[in-house]
């Protein structure tokens, strides 16, 4: 594609953009159970107008746009107060949970460089259920991830196992409230005690749960302490564009005090250009996401959030009870809020997801680990909660369809993988295997069951290699 010689009309542009969505899942019909969090028409309209009113303002320099500074500090303080931080707690808005997590890891690394110079090979302790963003941060920032297995009964990490993994190189402990995969809260209070005992920083990933769980607590639900009320918690990440129902591109990273936050900030006067001071990773950034977050927090208020959360929790209970009642399906663990995953010992859940996809549903497949079975993930929110009954109806029918179909031959797939591993030219062998799985070329696959079966049977390192090569070919 080339830039046109003559510009297109507004109508041509908008029509073409709309046509690009032809294969997109229709999230507005409430059948997509992840990625999009829809608060409804009125909050969405307010958010959109606020976002667009700050679209061109640049968050790079608050001396030029003090309005951006006001938006950022207002939103950060609202979330800090909700998560029971005291006046010493501080925060910044970021582009999303990954950036927030990156900054928490950077702050821990740079603090250790100053205060623990003996640590030349820093490590952070990650439960197996920690989000992949921590592994990404480890990769980017040269911090070794030390992965701790989960309790196979609860699917959460054991605090004693976290403590056993601590050594002289440990700079950061991590836990989730809740973990995305199964919606379960790690033992935050116990790990906080361990962090204090060993004088370590402790980050709580509240990207999906920070707001939702806090309002549940206010509504009288039995929610274990996970926020700044827990001694030992030194930083928390919370996404506003998930269960805060803000527009995409807004999260908050919070620290117990400025003495930790200062290691997040970057400044540079070493060039011939302007002085660069970046509290977060990005330099130039639109004020739109900040204004959108400020708008939706103030528009919904506590009453609005509580109404949404009650609706989501009611739908979650209906779904969990309904899925557990279906022959062959079961929910993993005891989810803490409106997200969970379910598995099966009698059918291939990847085939089940494909059958549901034919009816317009999107359920997110998750691979197995030695302690967790392959499963399908569901995030319940305002935008899809009304479809709980319809989802259960279609799910029950699709279960019977999958039962009647021949299962994917996992043994044959394992044989193919074993052959590829023994090939004298493993790169060519795995390229052929990728092609047979549908992971080649620049076209997106229409069905995922066979692909997921192949990927689930690969060792993690090889699976990552496959996916990197596939995406390297996809974006051309």
CB contact burial 224-241 (16+ within 10 A = b; e otherwise): ebbbbebebbbbbbbbbb
Residue-wise pLDDT for 284-341, tens only, equals 999 999 999 999 999 999 999 999 999 999 999 999 999 999 999 999 999 999 999 9
pLDDT of 431 reads 76
Between 297 and 25, where is the model more confident? 297
pLDDT of 216 reads 98
pLDDT of 459 reads 87
Residue-wise pLDDT for 346-362, tens only, equals 999 999 999 999 999 99
Residue-wise pLDDT for 62-105, tens only, equals 999 999 999 999 999 999 999 999 999 999 999 999 999 999 99
pLDDT of 463 reads 87
Q: pLDDT above 90 covers what percent of the chain?
A: 85
Whole-angstrom Cα distance, residue 94 to residue 326?
41
Q: Which of 104-108, 329-333, 342-346, 405-409 has the lowest mean pLDDT?
A: 405-409
pLDDT of 426 reads 64
Q: Which of the four CATH numbers 3.30.465.10, 2.40.30.10, 3.40.640.10, 3.40.50.720 does domain 50-296 have?
A: 3.40.640.10
Between 463 and 190, where is the model more confident? 190
pLDDT of 467 reads 87
Mean pLDDT of the chain: 95
91: β partners = 254
- Do 184 and 129 meet the contact criterion of CB atoms below 8 Å apart? yes
pLDDT of 440 reads 73
Whole-angstrom Cα distance, residue 389 to residue 242?
23
- Taking residues 187-214, what's their average pLDDT? 98
CB-based contacts of 81, cutoff 8 Å, min separation 6: none
- Residue 218 host element (H or E): helix 210-218
Peptide bond into 451 cis (omega under 30): no
Helix locations, 54-96, DSSP H: 66-82
- Taking residues 258-269, what's their average pLDDT? 98
The CA-based dihedral angle spanning residues 212, 214, 219, 224, taken in that order and rounded to the nearest 10 degrees: 110
SS (H, E, C) 297-336: HHHHHHHHHHHHHHHHHHHHHHHHHHHHCCCCEEECCCCC
Name the residue among 432, 354, 364 with its Cα closest to residue 399: 354
- Taking residues 229-253, what's their average pLDDT? 98
**What are the tokens at 357?**
């996809």
- Do 309 and 214 meet the contact criterion of CB atoms below 8 Å apart? no
**DSSP-assigned states of every residue in 380-415:** --TTTGGGHHHHHHHHHHHHHHHHHSPPP-HHHHHH
Q: Look at residue 432 and tell me whether its pLDDT is greater than 80.
A: no
- Taking residues 356-379, what's their average pLDDT? 96
- Taking residues 363-386, what's their average pLDDT? 96
- Residue 34 host element (H or E): none
Residue-wise pLDDT for 204-228, tens only, equals 999 999 999 999 999 999 999 999 9
Name the residue among 348, 368, 397 with its Cα closest to residue 457: 368
- Taking residues 398-427, what's their average pLDDT? 86
First to last CA, the chain: 11
For residue 449, give Cα distances in angstroms to 103, 334, 355, 367, 374: 36, 27, 10, 11, 12
- Taking residues 232-252, what's their average pLDDT? 98
441: left (phi over 0), alpha (psi -120 to 50) or beta: left
pLDDT of 390 reads 98
CB-based contacts of 85, cutoff 8 Å, min separation 6: 227, 228, 254, 256
366: β partners = 375
What are the two backbone dihedrals, phi and then psi, of residue 212, each rounded to the nearest 5 degrees?
-60, -50
Q: Look at residue 416 and tell me whether its pLDDT is greater than 90.
A: no
331: β partners = 342
Residue-wise pLDDT for 125-175, tens only, equals 999 999 999 999 999 999 999 999 999 999 999 999 999 999 999 999 999
Residue spans of the domains in the chain: they are: 50-296, 410-474
Using pLDDT thresholds of 50, 70 and 90, give the confidence band for residue 410. Answer: confident
- Taking residues 9-23, what's their average pLDDT? 96
Q: Look at residue 117 and tell me whether its pLDDT is greater than 70.
A: yes
For residue 220, give Cα distances in angstroms to 3, 175, 179, 468: 57, 24, 22, 45
Residue-wise pLDDT for 454-472, tens only, equals 899 988 988 888 888 888 8
């Amino acid at each position: 594609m080339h830039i046109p010689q003559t510009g297109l009309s507004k109508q041509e542009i908008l029509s073409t953009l709309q046509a690009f969505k032809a294969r997109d899942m229709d999230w507005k019909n409430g059948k997509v159970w992840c990625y999009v969090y829809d608060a409804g028409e009125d909050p969405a309209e307010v958010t959109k107008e606020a976002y667009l009113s700050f679209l061109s303002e640049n968050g790079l320099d608050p001396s030029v746009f003090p309005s951006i500074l006001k938006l950022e500090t207002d939103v950060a303080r609202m979330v800090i107060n909700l998560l029971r931080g005291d006046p010493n707690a501080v925060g910044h808005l970021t582009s999303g949970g990954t950036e927030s997590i990156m900054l928490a890891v950077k702050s821990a690394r740079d603090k250790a460089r100053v205060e623990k110079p003996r640590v030349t090979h820093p490590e952070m302790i990650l439960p197996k259920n920690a989000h992949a963003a921590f592994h990404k941060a480890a990769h980017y920032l040269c911090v070794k991830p030390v992965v701790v297995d989960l309790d196979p009964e609860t699917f959460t990490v054991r605090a004693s196992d976290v403590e056993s993994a601590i050594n002289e190189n440990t700079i950061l402990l991590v836990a989730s409230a809740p973990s995305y995969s199964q919606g379960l809260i790690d033992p935050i209070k116990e790990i906080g005690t361990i962090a204090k005992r060993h004088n370590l920083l402790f980050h709580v990933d509240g990207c999906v749960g920070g707001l939702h769980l806090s309002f549940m607590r206010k509504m009288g639900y039995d929610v274990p302490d996970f926020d700044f009320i827990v001694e030992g918690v030194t930083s928390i990440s919370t996404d506003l564009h998930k269960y805060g129902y803000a527009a995409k591109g807004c999260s908050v990273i919070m620290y117990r005090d400025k003495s930790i936050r200062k290691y997040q900030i970057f400044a540079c006067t070493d060039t011939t250009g302007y002085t660069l001071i970046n509290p977060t990773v990005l330099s130039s950034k639109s004020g739109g996401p900040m204004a959108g977050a400020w708008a939706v927090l103030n528009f919904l208020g506590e009453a609005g959030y509580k109404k949404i959360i009650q609706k989501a929790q009611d739908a979650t209970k209906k779904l969990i009870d309904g899925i557990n009642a279906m022959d062959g399906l079961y929910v993993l663990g005891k989810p803490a809020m409106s997200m969970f995953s379910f598995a099966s010992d009698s059918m291939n859940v990847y085939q089940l997801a494909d059958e549901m996809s034919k009816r317009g549903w999107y359920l997110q497949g998750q691979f197995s680990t030695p302690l967790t079975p392959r499963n399908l993930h569901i995030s319940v929110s305002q935008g899809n909660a009304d479809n709980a009954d319809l989802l259960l109806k279609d799910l029950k029918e699709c279960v019977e369809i999958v039962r009647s179909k021949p299962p994917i031959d996992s043994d044959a797939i394992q044989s193919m993988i074993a052959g590829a591993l023994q090939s004298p030219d493993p790169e060519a062998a795995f390229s052929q295997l990728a092609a047979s799985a549908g992971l080649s070329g620049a076209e997106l696959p229409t069905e995922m069951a066979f692909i997921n079966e192949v990927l689930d049977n690969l060792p993690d390192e090889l699976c990552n290699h496959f996916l990197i090569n596939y995406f390297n070919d996809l974006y051309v």
